[in-house]
Each structure stands twice: as structure tokens, then as C-alpha cells.
Amino acid sequence: ILNVEQSPQSLHVQEGDSTNFTCSFPSSNFYALHWYRWETAKSPEALFVMTLNGDEKKKGRISATLNTKEGYSYLYIKGSQPEDSATYLCVGGAGNMLTFGGGTRLMVKP
């Protein structure tokens, strides 16, 4: 995976809003797609890793889907809370290699 794109780059939402971000990647040479949540001055926290087309993962109010045929993944946050404010990284894995997207910076206003 050579190029992982994320959109939007940043996003401001109100507390309680639901939101979603997009990650696109080349569908060839796909192995795994990771989502990380990264707060400033902390280590990126693994949210999900998906490997199969059609995978859907959920962790509390956060969920993700994967479409390897068309090369995209969505991350959804239901009922955003201020503590969800972070940068969300989409990472493509091929073999041992990780390729990072630029991240989506989410800011949730109380």
C-alpha cells in the first residue's frame, strides 16, 4: 500500500453529533487496514484492524467498515463527546509495512 488518503483533514462538531471520516487506499496489494486514535502527547491507540472485505468492527460508539474492492474504509462516531477529540489515523498494512494517512483531526465542542 503506497498511498493512504484521509478526509477531511479536520472536523469540528458539536457534542452529541454523529460524524464519519473516510480513508481511501489502493485496493491492490491490500493486507490490513488499521484505525488509530491519537491524542496529543500520548501514544496512538489501536481502535480496529480489518482484513476482510465487508468487515465491520465496533467499539462502544465508534465503528468502522471496510471495502477492499473499491479501496475505502469509513470510521463512524455516534453521539460525539468532547473526549472523542483526537486525531484519527488510518493506516494501511502490507506485509510488515505500515503506510499512514494524514489523519483526521476531530474537535468536539461541548
Binding site for another protein (CB under 8 A): 4, 31-32, 34, 36, 41-44, 46, 49, 51, 89, 93, 96-98, 100-103
Which residue's entry shows cell 454523529?
A: 18
Over its C-alpha atoms, the chain yields an Rg (Å, rounded) of: 13
**Shortest distance (Å) from residue 76 CB to another protein:** 20
**Shortest distance (Å) from residue 16 CB to another protein:** 30
41 vs 83 by CB, closer to another protein:
41
The grid coordinates listed for 100 are 499512514
97 vs 107 by CB, closer to another protein:
97
**Shortest distance (Å) from residue 56 CB to another protein:** 16
5 vs 17 by CB, closer to another protein:
5
> Dihedral angle at the C-alpha atoms of 76, 42, 107, 101, nearest 10 degrees?
-60
35 vs 84 by CB, closer to another protein:
35
Please, are residues 56 and 65 in contact by the beta-carbon 8 Å criterion? yes
